[in-house]
Every structure is written in C-alpha cells, then in structure tokens.
Structure 1
C-alpha cells in the first residue's frame, strides 16, 4: 500500500463510489485504479492527479497535499548514496534490509524524527 493508495481509497469511500465507477469517470481501467490503490503501480502522473482532484472537487491545500502524497508514493525506491558518507550508505542499506520488519509504531517514530530534523534544518 502507498500513501496515495490509502488516500484514494478514503476519498472514494467518502464519496461512496466503486473503483469501476471512478475508473470510468477518470477514463482509466478499473484494474489500473486497483493497482494504484494497492501500491502495485508507481506514483500517478500529474494529469491523472489533476483528474482525481476534479473528480473529488478538491481545492487548494487539499489538492496540493494530494500531489505531495502522490509524489511520495513510489512503491520501489532507489537511494543513491554516491558521494555521501559511509554512514549514509550504511543507513540506506540497513533501512532497505529491515523495513519489512518494522511495525507501524517504529515507522511513525522514524518519520517523526525525520520531520523534526528537516524542520531544524529549515530554521538554520
């Protein structure tokens, strides 16, 4: 599952439509929509995100948030540590090898820590 897939399912459930109804309205196949929702496809294209925004009548901040969620929903991620420290390469490899064993609390904690570090970096 991806953040975008979760958001799409939530939006679709709130609107009370099936995947088939939504796919038809967007001009895509139900199979592709299902793959997006289940994280078996990469992040959607910008034009598709715009169609989805229109379909759900999403405006301003919510539309921007949906775009950010789409951009961070690549189910297969490559981390290039070329030119970074050995520690950075170790971190990337350790995360890749251990992510499947992390529970949701661990993942939320790591995400919180990364967000705090990013925020500290903005204040400098």
Structure 2
C-alpha cells in the first residue's frame, strides 16, 4: 500500500513523506508501548500509535520502520517532526482511533506482522 493511498483511506495528513513510487507497505503494527514495538515489530511494517513523543521516532529508527501513523488526533510537535526528518521517516496523522485505523487498513489489504491474518 502506498503512502498516498493510506492517507486517503485514513483521511490522514501527511506530515513528512520520504516514500517514493516504489514504496509499498504491506504490514502494520499497532502499539502505544514502545517495548512491544522493539519486541515484535519488523522493518517491513508501519507503526500505528497514539503515543506522541520523540521515543516513537527513536524506536522506529532503531527498528528500521520507515512510516509512523499517529492516531486519535495526535499531532507531533516540531521536535518530533524535526527528528523524523533527520531520520527520513514518513509521518501521517489521523483523527481515527487506533482500532478504526487498523480495521480500515486491514480491509484495504494490509496484513499484520504475522502474515497470516
């Protein structure tokens, strides 16, 4: 799934975009616990979270996750955006809940990291 397609499905704002025409993301992982992201997420997934601090960007960077979607109307502050730009991370923000965000992405073809959902 392309970034523009995700943004359209989620009625999301694209805050930073480091994707290109070859960027195709097929897996998602949702958590507000960055320890779970470190334990279970993969570099092939997007990170969906309501946690709004720099630790989200640092965790995504450590896990080679290239895209973060902030949910529940959370808008990252300038420091978070600057850190994302520094690490070339794509950031989207949606007003939808985490549950609705995940559901919409799944019904539009995204898979969980287990790959057998």
**TM-score normalised to structure 2 length:** 0.31
Larger radius of gyration: 1
Q: Whose helix fraction is larger, Structure 1's or Structure 2's?
A: 1
Using CA pairs under 8 Å that are at least 6 residues apart, name the structure with larger relative contact order, 1 or 2: 2
